Amino acid sequence: MQRPSAVLLDRDGVINFDSPDYILAADQWRPVPGSLEAIARLTRAGIAVAIVSNQSALGRGTIDQDSFNAIHAKMMLAIEQAGGFITHVAYCPHAPEAQCACRKPKPGMVEDSLNACGVKADAAVMIGDSLRDMQAADAAGVEGMLVQSGYGDAESILQSTRQFIPAVRVFDDLAAAVDAILEGERCC
């Protein structure tokens, strides 16, 4: 694969640690080691970075918009302090039962992010930690890269993803995926 012009990132489990109980306050937001530096390396390489994230806690009323905004502000500041830049942020605030057009595995947010970054699908990759991330990427025509830094059974997630995308590239975390992007490597 040629070096992409844009990298789309899921948030929870890729940039920051995730929780089965959601990230509900800014003090719960903790970056996965190496993730902020990985985003900075993409920025220095001239690759646009976008965030594409389901945030159903908003739709469920588990978190309010002000708390969500505080988490987002903390993340953006941490990324900037590490030398990174986020070109676009797309998030779905709906609960799964809302059947919206934006929630992954539907491609709405991926397509919005491609447009915001000014790139076509074949010039981008999506890095996520779940099958629905890979399905959204695939539905938009974007290559998906799976990282195993999210919560949950990584082996089960890998197996279900490989049933859908047998040749999916898999990495321990965002830093390793970015190494592969910048070095042009392939992985398992």
pLDDT digits (tens, 9 = 90+) for 31-66: 999 999 999 999 999 999 999 999 999 999 999 999
Residue 187 has pLDDT above 70, yes or no: no
How confident is the model at residue 188, as a pLDDT?
Answer: 40
How confident is the model at residue 152, as a pLDDT?
Answer: 79
Average pLDDT over residues 8-32: 95
Average pLDDT over residues 88-114: 96
pLDDT digits (tens, 9 = 90+) for 166-180: 999 999 999 999 999
- Total-model pTM: 0.94
Q: Which of 12, 18, 138, 173 is catalytic?
A: 12
Q: Which of 10, 18, 138, 173 is catalytic?
A: 10
Residue 14 has pLDDT above 90, yes or no: yes
How confident is the model at residue 153, as a pLDDT?
Answer: 86
**By the 8 A CB rule, do 29 and 13 touch?**
no
129 catalytic, yes or no? no
10 catalytic, yes or no? yes
How confident is the model at residue 1, as a pLDDT?
Answer: 59
Domains of the chain: 6-183 (3.40.50.1000)
